[in-house]
Amino acid sequence: MSGQNIWDKLQNVDRRVFYWILFIALTVPFLSPIGLPITVTPSTQSYYDGLKSIQSGEVVVLSINSGVSAWGDCLPAMIASVHKVYDQGGKLIVWSIGYTDVDITWAKIKEKLPDVFSKWKEGENYVYFGYCPGQETNVALLATNIRAIYPKDVRGVSTDQIPLMKDINGANKIKFVLSSDTGDAQMYYIRQWKNGQVNYEKTGKPPTVAEMGIAMNKSGDMAYYLSGDEFGLVAGSRGAAELEALTGYKGDATITMDSISVSHVLLVLAIILTNISMFATRGKKK
Amino acid sequence: MGVWIILDTKFVALLLLIAAFALFYAYMALAKGGMKIKARTFPAVAAIPEAIGRAAEMGRPVYYSTGMGQGTLNNQLNGPQTLAGISILGYTTRLCAKSGVKITYFTMIADSLPLVEETMRTAYMAEGKPEEFDPAVAINFQNEQSPYLTASLGWIQREKPASSILMGGFYYEAVCIGEAGNTIGAMQIGGSANTHQLPFLVATCDYTLIMEELYAASAEISGNLDVIGSLRGEDILKFFVLILLGLGFILALVNNNSLISLLKV
Amino acid sequence: MSQIYKREMVFIVAGVVAFVMILDYFFGKNIPGISGAGNLSSTLQTWALIIQLMAIGLGAINLIQVHYRQISRKTNMALYSAWFMVFFAILLLLGFYKLATGVEPYPYTWIFANVYVSLGATLYAITGFYIFSAAYRAFRARNIDAAILLIGGIFVLLANAPIGEVIWGGFPLIGNWFNNVGQVPGMRTFTVVGALGLLAYGFRALIGKERGFYSEVQ
């Protein structure tokens, strides 16, 4: 348009230009990794310390309430967590309270950890129950009667016949819950388990909760971590990369950190540019 | 049982709940009895007729959604947001029916469908145009978040609505739908009580209802005196909570946890 | 049943169920027949789940109605609607096959894992692009408040990326302060205030004053 200088045009750039620049910039680190160091935040350190506290034979629940679309943020943390549970000699119960693609997520976790699942025996070291829709209602019922929601596991084996579940039918035998979700699922466990009437028999305290969430929810979840409702918080790819650094199991999150660095720098540059153009055109109008 | 009730901290929570309900009821009764209670106007609610008028002038439809709401009304946080969104949908549909504007409602919450159909049908009937309501056109349901988002984005790109109203329990689709609306220059009004989506709604919408404003909006729309009275009760309760916060802060400074223990459930 | 009865029944049922759930939460273990597996509250919760699942059938009917309409009116979306109907029928048949035999057919798993899952992940990735353009538009220092938001946002962005600490050690320090201390009071305020609003809304719904979501249009 006539009368428009570079600063005016910058303010009205077609967003598709930015999308292309971003797309190209994001692919470069995948082809040529940079490998920047990652420092660990307190919330992830607390999460890892919680995993380290697992004694041999203690049972932990992995509640997968994130869909495949959130794999980028949540899957690496789940993989690192399962690996650490295995390292500590713990046992794992896996279920979902409402996401239909949990089967694919669990299959992916098993695919990424062949060294764990070649030694772990299903039914003795871990059990996978699949999903049952119901969200918080389910969580409330699971606190006192797991068999009411999951009478059998995905293999069709009755829960009564699963060795791991022999004496377990509620939260009182569960050390803690690792909730991977894209929304509020960890709050269900906080409300129904941690603040409920069930104590973990070994400590006499309620079973605790930790969260592996998406980066978008970090600001909201942080309040729960800081108040002590959660013992740890791993938020987004950054949190997952920190957890991978702590567990020593480097995975997809560490690889994506370079792309995150590039995209964030690009965004900051774009913001600075648009503000300069805004001030330049404002000065011109005056 | 009597001793157990007194010693259990849930009993304190029950007392507080009853006190809160009593407060709401008291102000509802006072308002109905003639007490003048003035509730401030929410710009977002006041902008709804403007949005419908814009659609009428431009001859384009209106997009309405209550978000993915975790796919069910049976959700503590999102169910009420969806219901609040449906209340505002009724008001919006009535305005659309009056102005002859087409409105399409997108959702992935299956158990809300009977409520939505009933609400929209009643809105058209209230304007004397029941024949203009066709659920196959006005309601678009998808079972999962990704199809619901794809359907919304595709519809927005094709139909180019003049106005887009997003009221309910939103998740990541808020920023996608909001930006899609911005791309086509739609007037956007948003509202959610999901804290993680508020920044995106504020960034993409022209008007936003934040947290409790979503629940209070239907009170303002209804204009019922007793319902507005409950808003005053809610504000009084906020003062009480502020006092508790201050007291807790002072007690925490002197390492006294009695208030925390009393209120813990 | 008349319309009036239909409307009032909704509120009576909602009120009774809410009362039972409140009793269960506060007095559950002391009132026999209310709390625990097989008792009233868990039965009601199970019924809620069943209703939720039944509603999916309603949704499927709506989907068929919407797309059939496109096809019968030969709109410009008719081809896509026809394609949808074909896929719907295929997946429905595959689902019935699984129901009948107990074996999940390979095409069913393949379509879910390779089509639906991939598309879902793509859509989630699109969010990043939309956030980029939203931030480009929103992060403009038009006034003091916007300028403060802009500066805080830049610190948080660079705290989240490893490159931030390479550029300057202060970025993660200040950015993490914003994350862990600065924004937490605001988020807690939102949560508390939202809960109070929800309490009032719930009370109004309980006593039947909040009727906008069921056939009472304002």
pLDDT in tens, B136-149: 889 999 888 889 99
Please count the CA atoms within 13 angstroms of the CA of A54 that sit on its side-chain side.
Answer: 27
Q: Does C192 touch chain B (CB under 8 A)?
A: yes
Q: How confident is the model at residue C215 (pLDDT cuts 50, 70, 90)?
A: low
CA distance to partner chain C, nearest, from residue A149 (Å): 10
Q: Are residues A12 and A55 in the same domain?
A: no
Q: Are C157 and B202 in contact (CB under 8 A)?
A: no
Please count the CA atoms within 13 angstroms of the CA of A184 that sit on its side-chain side.
Answer: 23
- Chains B and C form CB pairs within 8 A to the count of 198
Residue A1 is assigned to a structural domain of this protein:
no
- Greater confidence (A286 vs C198) lies with C198
Of the listed ranges A250-254, B250-254, C114-118, the least confidently predicted one is C114-118
Tens of pLDDT, residues B196-220: 899 999 999 999 999 999 999 988 8
Burial A126-144 (b: 16+ CB within 10 A, else e): bbbbbbbbbbbbbbbbbbb
Tens of pLDDT, residues A9-21: 776 778 888 889 8
The enclosing domain of A209 has a CATH number of 3.40.50
- Greater confidence (B63 vs C117) lies with B63
Question: Do B218 and C212 make contact, defined as CB atoms within 8 angstroms?
Answer: yes
pLDDT value of residue A99:
76
Tens of pLDDT, residues A154-199: 999 999 999 999 999 999 999 999 999 887 889 899 988 887 768 8
Return all residues near B181 (Cβ < 8 A) that are at least 6 apart. B63, B156, B161, B164, B188, B204
% pLDDT > 90, chain B: 68
pLDDT of B225 strictly over 60: yes
pLDDT value of residue B191:
95
The mean pLDDT value for A91-98 works out to 93
Element at A123 (helix H, strand E): none
Q: How confident is the model at residue C45 (pLDDT cuts 50, 70, 90)?
A: confident
A163-192 residues touching C, CB cutoff 8 A: none
CA distance to partner chain C, nearest, from residue A110 (Å): 16
- Chains A and B form CB pairs within 8 A to the count of 37
Q: Are residues A147 and A24 in the same domain?
A: no
pLDDT of A232 strictly over 60: yes
Q: Are residues A134 and A270 in the same domain?
A: no
pLDDT of B97 strictly over 60: yes
Question: Do A42 and C42 make contact, defined as CB atoms within 8 angstroms?
Answer: no
pLDDT value of residue A196:
72
Q: Are residues A148 and A26 in the same domain?
A: no
- Which of C20, C21, C41, C163 is best to mutate for the A interface (most A CBs within 10 A)? C163
pLDDT value of residue C79:
94
Residue A37 is assigned to a structural domain of this protein:
no
Q: Are residues A263 and A245 in the same domain?
A: no
Q: Are B93 and B62 in contact (CB under 8 A)?
A: no
Q: Report d(CA B84, CA B67) in Å as an integer.
A: 12
Q: Report d(CA A18, CA C110) in Å as an integer.
A: 35
Structure tokens at B43: 């710009």
pLDDT of C123 strictly over 80: yes
Q: Report d(CA C194, CA B211) in Å as an integer.
A: 5
Burial B8-34 (b: 16+ CB within 10 A, else e): bebeebbeebeebbebbbebbebbeee
Q: Are residues A245 and A265 in the same domain?
A: no
The mean pLDDT value for C100-127 works out to 86
Give contacts of B172 with chain A, Cβ < 8 Å. 182, 216
Residue A193 is assigned to a structural domain of this protein:
yes
The mean pLDDT value for B63-67 works out to 96
pLDDT of A141 strictly over 50: yes
Among B37-41, B63-67, C214-218, the range with the most confident prediction by mean pLDDT is: B63-67
The values of phi and psi at residue C22, to 5°, are: -65, -45
Q: Are B198 and A217 in contact (CB under 8 A)?
A: no
Residue A120 is assigned to a structural domain of this protein:
yes
Nearest to A36 among C116, C120, C166 (CB): C166
Q: Which residue does chain C place closest to B117, by CA atoms?
A: C215
Q: Are residues A188 and A48 in the same domain?
A: yes
Give contacts of B195 with chain A, Cβ < 8 Å. 219-220
Give the total residue count for chain C: 218
Q: What is the mean pLDDT of chain A?
A: 89
pLDDT value of residue A154:
92
Q: How confident is the model at residue B236 (pLDDT cuts 50, 70, 90)?
A: very high
Q: How confident is the model at residue B3 (pLDDT cuts 50, 70, 90)?
A: very low
B104: closest CA among B196, B177, B204, B179? B177
B38-67 residues touching C, CB cutoff 8 A: none
- Residue by residue, what is the 3-state secondary structure of chain B? CHHHHHHCHHHHHHHHHHHHHHHHHHHHHHHHCCCCCCCCCCHHHHHHHHHHHHHHHHCCCEEEECCCHHHCCCCCCHHHHHHHHHHHHHHHHHHHHHHCCCEEEEECCHHHHHHHHHHHHHHHHHCCCHHHCCHHHHEEECCCHHHHHHHHHHHHHHHCCCEEEEECCCCCHHHHHHHHHHHCCCEEEEEECCHHHHHHHHHHCCEEEECHHHHHHHHHHHCCHHHHHHHHHHHHHHHHHHHHHHHHHHHHHCCCCHHHHHHCC
Q: What is the mean pLDDT of chain C?
A: 85
CA distance to partner chain B, nearest, from residue A164 (Å): 31
Query: What total number of domains does chain A contain?
Result: 2
- Greater confidence (B165 vs B265) lies with B165
Q: How confident is the model at residue C137 (pLDDT cuts 50, 70, 90)?
A: confident
Q: Chains with 3 or more CB pairs closer than 8 angstroms to B?
A: A, C
- Which of C85, C130, C191, C192 is best to mutate for the B interface (most B CBs within 10 A)? C130
The mean pLDDT value for A69-89 works out to 94
Question: Do B230 and C193 make contact, defined as CB atoms within 8 angstroms?
Answer: no
Nearest to C213 among B86, B172, B193 (CB): B86
Give the total residue count for chain B: 265
Q: How confident is the model at residue B56 (pLDDT cuts 50, 70, 90)?
A: very high
pLDDT of C39 strictly over 80: no
Q: Residue A233 to residues A61, A186, A230, A239: CA-CA distances in angstroms?
A: 16, 10, 7, 8
Q: Does A196 touch chain B (CB under 8 A)?
A: no
The mean pLDDT value for B4-33 works out to 83
pLDDT of B9 strictly over 70: no
Q: Is C116 left (phi over 0), alpha (psi -120 to 50) or beta?
A: alpha
Q: Which residue does chain B place closest to C26, by CA atoms?
A: B10
The mean pLDDT value for A31-50 works out to 90
pLDDT of C60 strictly over 50: yes
Single-letter residue type at A128 = Y
Checking ipTM against 0.90, whether it exceeds it is: no
- Greater confidence (B172 vs C33) lies with B172
- Greater confidence (B162 vs A187) lies with B162
pLDDT of B1 strictly over 60: no
The mean pLDDT value for C112-127 works out to 86
Q: Are residues A141 and A279 in the same domain?
A: no
pLDDT value of residue B136:
85
The mean pLDDT value for C145-155 works out to 91
Among B153-157, B257-261, C138-142, the range with the most confident prediction by mean pLDDT is: B153-157
pLDDT value of residue B103:
97
Give contacts of C190 with chain B, Cβ < 8 Å. 195, 198, 210-211
Question: Do C63 and B224 make contact, defined as CB atoms within 8 angstroms?
Answer: no
Residue A88 is assigned to a structural domain of this protein:
yes
Structure tokens at A145: 């009667």
Q: Does A255 touch chain C (CB under 8 A)?
A: no
Residue A208 is assigned to a structural domain of this protein:
yes
Q: Which CATH number fits domain B43-221: 2.40.128, 3.30.70, 2.60.40, 3.40.50?
A: 3.40.50
The mean pLDDT value for C179-190 works out to 88
pLDDT of A281 strictly over 70: yes
* Domain span including residue A279: 6-32+257-285
Q: Are A232 and A60 in contact (CB under 8 A)?
A: no
Largest CA distance in chain B: 68
CA distance to partner chain A, nearest, from residue C69 (Å): 29
Burial A251-274 (b: 16+ CB within 10 A, else e): bbbbbbbbbbbbbbbbbbebbeeb
The mean pLDDT value for B24-44 works out to 89
R_g of chain C computed on alpha carbons: 26
Q: Are residues A242 and A277 in the same domain?
A: no
